[in-house]
Amino acid sequence: MHDIRAIRENPENFDAALAMRGVSPMSAEILAIDENRRAKITRAEQALAERNAASKDIGRAKAQGQDEEFKRLRALVADKKAEIAELEAEAKAQNDALQTLLMTLPNSPFEDTPLGKDEADNVEIHRWGMPLSLHFKPKEHYELPAVQGGMDFELAAKISGSRFVILSGAVARVHRALAQFMLDTHTSENGLTEVNTPVLVRDEAMTGTGQLPKFAEDSYQTTNGWWLVPTSEVPLTNIVSDTIQDDAALPRRFVAHSLCFRSEAGSAGRDTSGMLRQHQFEKVEMVSITKPEDSRDELDRMTKCAQGILERLNLPYRTVLLCTGDIGFGARRTHDIEVWLPGQDTYREISSCSVCGDFQARRMNARFRRNGAKKPEFVHTLNGSGLAVGRCLIAVLENGQQEDGSVELPEVLHGYMGGKTRINKDGVLA
């Protein structure tokens, strides 16, 4: 959420940041509501002072036998009480309108974020590995003979509907191994603290990280009001909501493996084949809580943590800096990591690492206090996939495919597979 004081002090900068995202100027509307709200508060405070003064005079008038003055003052106190209640209600309505408006406006991109309309204007900033040059036509993951028996979309559709999958046998084991490998790497080598988080959260948690109110249709809500998490970014980041962290405790770095749920509203017809875009999927999510001056460097660190997973799996990838037209609602800068998929002959997103500045922290009142300081400051928050497990499975299967329909597994997974190194064309670990 935006700082109203910053908008008051420099409305031109605020509108310029919105313009980078293609959003019309909003400062005039915001400041008009804010001015009205503050005027109501000032008038209510004046009325309260007048009521208090009249209340003191009532006793004196009664003691001196000034009946008419006593009646006038008593009526004045009653009128001021009603006036104060009305002004406070009007101020609250204006404050609610202001908060609602601020909650729906996207974060301000960094000034060095490339301008653009969509993903075509993103800027490649890093590339690792060379896509394999296969002497046969590569298949997509769901077409591979080694995979077909262990990846059942029809059975999942019978049970749950479209955009679900049932994994079994060797494919399910590789999927599990990938998640375990990611967690082991992040906790033992990258210094992240593993957390097991709920997948059901309250409105406040979703609001704090920016999913509500603007993106309610993208998530699932239970009949009793809980939300199914679209990513464990939500519970991980809310660990510090409504707290004041010690200066020495930062940065805090978390990682969690969880189920994720997304309705995929507005994505009809996109990636309907295979398991690229599912309503239920798994991710290993990273979240960092930092001091403001450290967040840009932390984004680079987080990005390298995600890239390192792909390098250990020997999966070619590229990293792109998102332009203003493609960056997420709560982000100031985002690095998307795209893995090479031979079956599609292209790179596809497998991780998105973002720095949000104090945007989420203001929404969830997450602060820290510097050593010796009296006033706390808002922390900065970051989040990133480390990685999307299902998409990583797709990449491992497609990049390891052999002409006979079998799949060679990355060496780093062999220990997680009981020494097995491949899935043969019949779908059996060998």
DSSP string, 45-68: HHHHHHHHHHHHHHHHHHHTT-HH
232 assigned to active site:
no
241 assigned to active site:
no
Measure the CA–CA gap between 241 and 93, rounded to whole angstroms. Answer: 25
| Residue 366 vs residues 79, 243, 289: alpha-carbon distances, Å | 41, 5, 9
211: closest CA among 196, 229, 223? Answer: 229
277 assigned to active site:
yes
> Helix, strand or coil for residue 318?
strand
Per the CB < 8 A criterion, the answer to whether 281 and 392 are in contact is: no
50 assigned to active site:
no
391 assigned to active site:
yes
DSSP string, 329-366: TT-SEEEEEEEEETTTTEEEEEEEEEE-TTHHHHHHTE
Radius of gyration of the CA atoms of the chain, in A = 28
Measure the CA–CA gap between 153 and 159, rounded to whole angstroms. Answer: 10
Q: Which of 21, 43, 277, 318 is catalytic?
A: 277
| DSSP secondary structure letter of residue 414 | G
Q: Which of 51, 173, 253, 262 is catalytic?
A: 262
Q: Which of 86, 349, 377, 408 is catalytic?
A: 349
Q: CB 96: neighbour CB atoms within 10 A?
A: 12
| Residue 375 vs residues 219, 244, 367: alpha-carbon distances, Å | 37, 10, 10
Measure the CA–CA gap between 279 and 284, rounded to whole angstroms. Answer: 16
Per the CB < 8 A criterion, the answer to whether 340 and 401 are in contact is: no
Q: Which of 51, 363, 391, 422 is catalytic?
A: 391
Q: Which of 352, 354, 385, 406 is catalytic?
A: 352
Residue with tokens 């406070």: 88
Catalytic residue positions, numbered: 262, 277, 349, 352, 391
